[in-house]
Every structure is written in structure tokens, then in C-alpha cells.
Amino acid sequence: MQTTHLGRVEYLPTYAAMQAFNEQRNLNSDAPSDDQLWICEHPPVYTQGLAGKPEHIFNPANIPVVQTNRGGQVTYHGPGQVVAYPLIDLKRAGYFVKEYVYRIEESLIRTLLHFGVTGHRVAGAPGIYVRIDDPAGHTPLENRPHKQEAGVHASDPNFTGLGKIAALGIKVSRNCTYHGLALNVAMDLEPFQRINPCGYVALQTIDLSTIGYQVSWQDAADVLSHKLATYLAP
């Protein structure tokens, strides 16, 4: 997988470039185009997923809102956040969408662990979460994903004591992925207070800086890109 660091780039042209890349892939060729990983940072922007509801954006002010074709609800991108866009042919990679999401989340967990932070999955709520009062604690969450028994209704996500530090929203077309994930490093978090992040009322969003971990954007980007290249490999 070829990794490209784009720097700080506007969201809309990047979104268009992802679509164009996938449209031009010749998946039936004897030499199909290589998978790619784009690492970047965006100026302030809200992006709305296909399931997004307007009421989850209640005060965008001067921050643009972009409707996209990814999954999920609304999120915010801004300076101090590492955004990663894996452009992968899942058929060639040999795994399906559910495992793709698991591998992305595992890459984020391993990135956080590199900096001394324990990331957690929450059942029914894609993304990675951190215990705000114990960011390095390894005790598993009670509400982590479990194999559901037949006939047992999954409970609503419980975010008590947690902050969301990484979000993901993906799109798969012709077995190829685009859109991706975002890791909060050292941001102005105020714009998250103008939305219900990922459609959850009062979900607290955090970054590495606010929980006491001083990590540069470049260091976080380098580690995350390495972990993604490792865990998304065929």
C-alpha cells in the first residue's frame, strides 16, 4: 500500500479525488492499481453521512457543512486532527467490510497504545473511546463488544466516563473503500459542542492533548500510517 502525506488540504477536493481514484481503478486488469493510504489534515468542516439528521447540527455558525456518501452521522474535521483515507480493494485484500472496520479500529488502538493511552471499543458505536479519568488504564469496559446471543437485544451504547478520541465513516463501492477515519491529537474541540457527534446527544469528544498527552501532529500521523499499513495488509 502506497502512503501519501497530503498536508493540510480542503475537504471537498479531497473527497472528489477519492471518488475519482476509485472510478478509475481497473479492477479486472492483470496489473490493478495499487492500494493507497492518504494522510492529511483539514481546515474546519462538518461532514454529514448518509444517515445524518439535520437536527444533529444545531449551530454550525461559519463552519461549512458538507453532505457526503459515507456511512454514519455528523462529525467535525479541523486542524490538529489526523485524517486517514485508506483506498483498498477488499476483494484483493481478502477480507470483508466488518473485518475492515475491526482492522481500522485495531490500528487506532495500537497507535494510542504507542503513546501510552488505552483505547476502547464500545458495543454498537464505531470508533475508539478513552476513559477520561484513567486514559492509561487497561481494565476492559463492561460495554465492550460481545458476541450477541440469539434473541438478546443489544443495549444502547453507554458513554459514561468516556470520551471519543477517534471516529470512522467509510464507503465501499465495487469492493473498494474510501472515506476513512480521524484521530484527535491537539484540536480546538469547541466545534464538537455545536453538534451531536456521530448522532449521540452530549457525547464528549476529546483529544490526546486534553487528557494530558503532548504528541505532535506529525508523530501521530507517522505512527497511525504505519499501523494502518500493517493491519490493513492482505
Best CA proximity match to 224, nearest among 211, 212, 210, 208: 208
Q: Find the angle CA(230)-CA(232)-CA(234) to the nearest 5 degrees.
A: 100
Q: Which residues touch 123 (CB under 8 Å, ≥6 apart)?
A: 143, 144, 145, 146, 154, 155, 157
Instruction: Establish whether 40 is a catalytic residue.
Output: no
Looking at the DSSP bridge assignments, the partners of residue 84 are 39, 181
161 Rama sector, left if φ>0, alpha if ψ -120 to 50, beta otherwise: left
Integer Cα distance of 212 and 106 in angstroms: 22
Best CA proximity match to 77, nearest among 64, 59, 87, 62: 64
Of 186, 198, 215, 228, which is the active-site residue?
Answer: 198
Question: Would you please indicate which residues are annotated as catalytic (active-site) residues?
Answer: 198
